[in-house]
Structure 1
Amino acid sequence: MEVWAGDQMMPAVLEQAAVAAGMSPARLAALAESVLHDISSGLYFGASVKIARHGELVLDLAAGHADAQASHPIVENSVFSIFSITKTFVNALTLRWVELGRLALTSKVVEVIPEFAGPPRDRSTVYHLLTHTAGMPGVWEPAPALYLDKLDDALRAVVANIHGVVEPGTRCDYSPMANHTLLAAMLCRTDPESRDIGTLLDEEIFQPLGMADTAMGIKSWMRDRHVIPDTRGTVPIKSLSRTTPGDFGLHLAESNESAWAGAASTSGDLVLFADTLRRGGTSVNGYDLISPATIKRARTVWTGEMPNELYQTVALRAGYDVPPAYLGLGFNVRGPRIVNTQLGTLTSPETFGNYGAGSALYWVDPELDLVFVGLTAGLLSQAQNIARFQRLSDMAVAAVT
């Protein structure tokens, strides 16, 4: 499939694929023009956007550059640090572990991590971690200047410093790092082969799905295509690595065990992952990641009308109504009401996916059989990012004929 730079006519092969999949080339071109306008106006530096319908790629847009200096262009296989989209892989592996009988949604964290004692957090379960209702505050870092590249270090800091403040299940506090530190540790401790989290993700998800450019860290074959993150002041903490200097060395290092924010990937690899979810958990090459029944449960809203405490603050500052959290089992869900959301307002209520700090999003609309992946350079603030991806998501749906 021919990549589209966006500043020329849509390649004929993409146009033909769009028509065959029931998509409007003109509407897809309008989406591309919106991205180009964002970039030319300085909203962000560049983007790699892919859209697929019925498993067929209908838009492959690579536009703009990796940084403000326009030092190198975004290409179709640019490697992005995907921040909290890392959590989606841990979530999927957790659901796989439940299906294999190694964990249960009702497993208490303290049953696997005994040092995670003390009420009320000792009553939290895998279900609470996946739905961000474990009763702990949404802490970005459990200790100042903490190195984030080793899971054991992160786990010790979480155990020592992040305590329950409400009964699990009664409040939704998005957890930037603690929940997925705990989930990753539970996965490792219940793995029959005692693999580390990087190996687990690689052997259970990345390799079987053919995600050759996805890893916990920037591997040698990925480095020359890596879009070095420019947080532009939107991330409230440093991301320190023992092996790589700099305030955000974690996102430059060869490897890390930051199971909440340390992965890097391409738009193409994320399409492979999202398409596996669209297909009911079985990849195009026949690998059974998780079952259709589990995906159906996972894309169900389990948090009711509870607000997400983090995004409640964003909404109040931006001046719009506070939306419900609309969280499934590890996935963000569009939900039944029309609210401000990155997942769009024209998507179906069961649309589900995940996003990463001000720059990255994927979603699957099971009703429209539609997949959207957007990776961008130059992080936006939370409110700007929600508005940007809501607009692009709605434009993607509008292209369905």
Structure 2
Amino acid sequence: MTRREGHVAEGFEPVARAFEASFEGRPGMGAALAVLHRGELVVDLHGGSADRHGRTPWTDRTLSVIFSCTKGVLSILVARLVQEGRLDYDAPAIRYWPEFGEAGKSDLTVGDLLAHRAGLSAPRQDLSVDDIVDWDRMVSILARQEPLWAPGTGWAYHAITHGWLGGELVRRVTGRSVGDRFREAVAEPLGVDMWIGLPADRHDRVATMWSGPSLDELTATQQRERGFPGHEWLWRAMTLGGALPPELVGDGVGFNDPRIHSAEIPGAGGIADARALATVWSATVTPTHGVRLLDDATLDIALVPRATGAPVFDAAPPWPRWGAGFQLDSEARRYLSDASFGHDGAGGQVAFADREHEIGFAFLTNQMEADDDRGTRIVDALRECVTR
């Protein structure tokens, strides 16, 4: 069994055992886990390899791409603006971003935009890396694009595009890029190592992400099924028409590419350590490092379910549930309780807060799998600790 390092508070030992068990049969895996309870760090663990081959150990300074966990963080930024009275979930998005109204999108609300109901889950045109690292180009493309379905009438997961849509709202309202806004409003007040757009002097700390057997099998199946109705759009939602590999990572490409690390891609490109990510989520539900990011009244509005049931493009159940960008507890993504909210990420990343138990949680790993229960088993162990 991979040796884990870090500390665990008394009463949370089952969580540590579940974390250790996640390494079984995965010799190249690296991972980190952090849990805050009532604002205090009670689990802070790491272990394994940051480079797949065991040459670089995963340490307490290792950073990791958090993939779609970034959407949850973006949703926190938007909720803060709602809390401040600067954004309204029920207002049309064009109130803040007039150009977005092209091609039949003028009635779409901010809340529906965040809840994957914009009809822009995938680009109609093929994109390149040069395109996706250019913020102005990407938001212009999405503003002009004809939706894939009538906006607001159904949902489909906006795997990467979600970040530019929500992030442009943040930029229009604050006058700051989403990365700068996150740094100023969240990262610096909390004192955490997390970025949307990584500084050049942090690149050597980032773990190498790699696709495991179940993810390789899934992408091969998706490649074969691209001709089925709707499946091309699912494929393009992840690859953006060629800008990203279907697994999202490869040798120096996708989310292992330093250019993408440096860019602000808030649909999937956030970079953090687990301690930082768990701290951010903790601060949404309880004072943490002296900071409370969201008040209860704002959470009550932000967590109203806005997208449930079957998506526009055929997918087998169980299906997730979405609030205003937040992933809610569901059969598809079981968190700690029905008072939990957060966002998971490609390959096994899990991050959330729980209002009832005042928990902030983050599990990050560089061995990306599709058929994966590592994070779920750790959450199950945590539930035993806080409910007994």
**TM-score calculated relative to the size of structure 1:** 0.79
Q: Secondary structure at the match of 1:39?
A: coil
Q: Deviations over 1:196-243 (max 9, x none)?
A: 2221221122111212x2112332442232102224655645349xxx
> Residues of 2 paired with 1:216 and 1:39: CA distance?
29
The 3 A distance-change label for structure 1 pair 180 and 125 is farther
Write the distance in 2 (CA, Å) between the matches of 1:262 and 1:30. 30
Structure 1, unmatched stretches of 5+, are 317-321
Distance 1:37 1:200, change over 3 A: same
Rounded to whole Å, the distance in 2 between the matches of 1:164 and 1:84 is 22
Select 1:187's aligned residue among 163, 167, 170.
Answer: 170
- Rounded to whole Å, the distance in 2 between the matches of 1:115 and 1:190 is 14
2:90 is paired with a residue whose SS is coil
TM-aligned CA deviation for residue 105 of structure 1:
0.8
Q: Is 1:60 the counterpart of 2:44 in the alignment?
A: yes
Rounded to whole Å, the distance in 2 between the matches of 1:101 and 1:56 is: 30
SS at match of 1:364: strand
How many angstroms apart in 2 are the aligned matches of 1:222 and 1:108?
Answer: 38
Q: What count of residue pairs does the alignment treat as equivalent?
A: 355
Where does residue 252 of structure 1 map in the other structure? 258
Which residue of structure 2 aligns with residue 154 of structure 1? 138
| Alignment partner of 1:285 out of 283, 290, 293 | 290
Q: Any unmatched runs of 5+ in structure 2?
A: 220-237, 246-250
**What whole-Å deviation, never above 9, does each CA across 1:29-83 have from its counterpart, x for those lacking one?**
431331231534x6xx111012232333332221211232112111123100112
- 1:165 Cα shift? 1.0
In structure 1, how many angstroms separate the alpha carbons of the residues matched to 2:376 and 2:351? 12
Q: How far apart are residue 128 of structure 1 and its match?
A: 0.4
Contact 1:39-1:46 within 8 A present in 2 as well: no
What is the CA-CA distance between 1:309 and the residue it aligns to? 5.2
Q: CA 1:29/1:290 → structure 2, altered by over 3 Å: closer, same or farther?
A: closer
Aligned residue in 1 for 2:341: 352
Q: Which residue does 1:330 correspond to in 2?
A: 325
| Number of the residue aligned with 2:182 | 201
CA contact (8 A) 2:63 2:271 kept: yes
Contact 1:239–1:251 (8 Å) recurs in 2: no
Distance in 1 (CA, whole Å) between partners of 2:84 and 2:358 is 28
Q: Secondary structure at the match of 2:181?
A: helix
Moved more, 87-96 or 31-40: 31-40
CA distance in 2, matches of 1:357, 1:249: 11
> What residue is the counterpart of 1:262 in the other structure?
269
Q: Identify which of structures 1 and 2 has the higher relative contact order when contacts are C-alpha pairs closer than 8 Å and 6+ apart.
A: 2
Find the aligned partners of 2:105 and 2:254 in 1 and give their Cα distance.
Answer: 30
Q: Supply the distance in 2 between the matched residues of 1:370 and 1:64 (Cα, whole angstroms).
A: 25
Note the C-alpha offset of 1:117.
2.8
CA RMSD of aligned residues (A): 2.8
Query: Which of 93, 107, 111 is the matching residue for 2:77?
Result: 93
Distance 1:352 1:308, change over 3 A: farther
Where does 1:125-144 land on structure 2 (aligned, <5 Å)? Answer: 125-134=109-118, 136-139=119-122, 142-144=125-127
Distance (Å, rounded) in 2 between the aligned partners of 1:87 and 1:77: 23
Tell me the distance in 1 between the aligned counterparts of 2:39 and 2:97: 40
- Take 2:208 and 2:69, find their aligned partners in 1: how far apart are those partners? 16
Moved more, 78-87 or 291-300: 291-300
CA contact (8 A) 1:150 1:258 kept: no
Following the alignment from structure 1 to structure 2, what is the Cα–Cα distance between the partners of residues 195 and 56?
31
1:227 to 189, 207, 210: 207
Deviation (angstroms), 1:133:
2.0
> In the alignment, what sits opposite 2:230?
none
Partner of residue 377 from structure 1, selected from 355, 366, 369? 366
Counterpart of 2:354?
Answer: 365
Q: 1:113 to 1:57 in 2, by over 3 A?
A: closer
What's 1:272 paired with? 279
User: In structure 2, do the counterparts of structure 1 residues 140 and 52 end up closer, same or farther at CA, with 3 Å as the change threshold?
Assistant: farther
> Paired residue for 2:299, among 295, 298, 306?
295
**Cα distance change of structure 1 residues 33 and 259 upon mapping to structure 2, 3 Å threshold:** closer
Match of 1:319 in 2: none
Q: Is the 8 A contact 1:231 1:379 kept in 2?
A: yes
Q: Name the structure 1 match of 2:197.
A: 217
Which of 18, 23, 28 pairs up with 1:31? Answer: 18
